[in-house]
Structure 1
Amino acid sequence: MAQAQTAAEPTEPLAILNAVDTDLNEFKWIKRPVVIFADSEFDPAFVEQMELIVSEADRLVERDVVVITDTDPDARSEIRLRMRPRGFMLTLVGKDGQLKIRKPFPQDVREITASIDKMPMRQREIREAKEAARN
């Protein structure tokens, strides 16, 4: 039987992966990929987005988020070919594998988590966590 994690226990670190080495299908029903595209790792929007994500990584870990970055258009990753970004783009993919949001500018973690918290699957996770805490 799994034990509930307490606030005092350390959480797992936020996974930040490279799109070239990543298949979105491996996260279906397990994680919520946040995919961040840019034409260069030096793109100011990309740099800002990564700073925002790292600053509140724990809030993303709580919501089963994995971050995938793609800053090399020439590598033609499978994810880039599927989502076809133009310059900077942030996408949120649900656990069901469907694209949920697509933004052409950096989003703070509060905005990302608010989008996640509105999803039916996340609502169910919250309910189940509350029920487990009561028992």
Structure 2
Amino acid sequence: MKRILALVFVMFSPVVACAQDDSAPSQSVPPDIILPGETADLSEFLWIKRPLIVFADSPADPRYTLQMEYLTERLEDLDERDIVVLTDTDPSADSALRERLHPRGFMLVLIGKDGTIYLRKPLPWDVREISRVIDKMPMRQQEMRDRRGGS
């Protein structure tokens, strides 16, 4: 009986180890990267985060669904670039974000840490394209130099 238990333990220990390894990356990303935008105040992110706002007229909009898939596939890249994703899928709510940015249907908006609008797109973009725009920003370049220890 002891041999059978030992054999079962040995057989399933790699499965448990793999399951633990798979969950580790998702725990390294803070859960507050994607937030509802209906009540968000952009001033709370000023000089701290880069808001990426995803507007749609409905959460069932295929462009919204595709955009959220793109974003959730690479949350680590978003976290590395200090991005917070704000979603607004209710045009009838008249949120402060909608009043300021005036979306029509689906719209993706990237705002820098300084509050400047750097990108407006009527179609979904993947994280790689968004990252390229961010990495060209002077503040992001300074952040990369600081992390490398350069001047």
Relative to the length of structure 1, the TM-score reads 0.88
Alpha-carbon RMSD: 1.6
CA distance in 1: counterparts of 2:49 and 2:116, whole angstroms: 12
Q: Percent identity?
A: 53
**Out of 19, 33, 44, which is 2:37 matched to?**
19
Whether 2:70 is the aligned partner of 1:52: answer yes
Moved over 2 A (4+): 9-14
What displacement does 1:14 show? Answer: 5.2
Residue equivalent to 1:95: 113
CA distance in 2: counterparts of 1:99 and 1:82, whole angstroms: 11
Greater Rg by CA: 2
Relative to the length of structure 2, the TM-score reads 0.79
For these two proteins, the number of residue pairs brought into alignment is 125
| Local SS of the residue matching 2:78 | helix
* Contact 1:14 1:65 survives alignment (8 Å): no
Q: Which runs of 5+ in 2 are unaligned?
A: 1-24
* Higher helix fraction (1 or 2): 2
The AA in structure 2 aligned to 1:79 is L
Q: Which runs of 5+ in 1 are unaligned?
A: 1-6
CA distance in 1: counterparts of 2:28 and 2:46, whole angstroms: 25
Bigger relative contact order, structure 1 or 2 (CA pairs below 8 A, ≥6 apart): 1
Matches within 5 A, 1:2-41: 10-13=28-31, 15-41=33-59
Residue equivalent to 2:123: 105
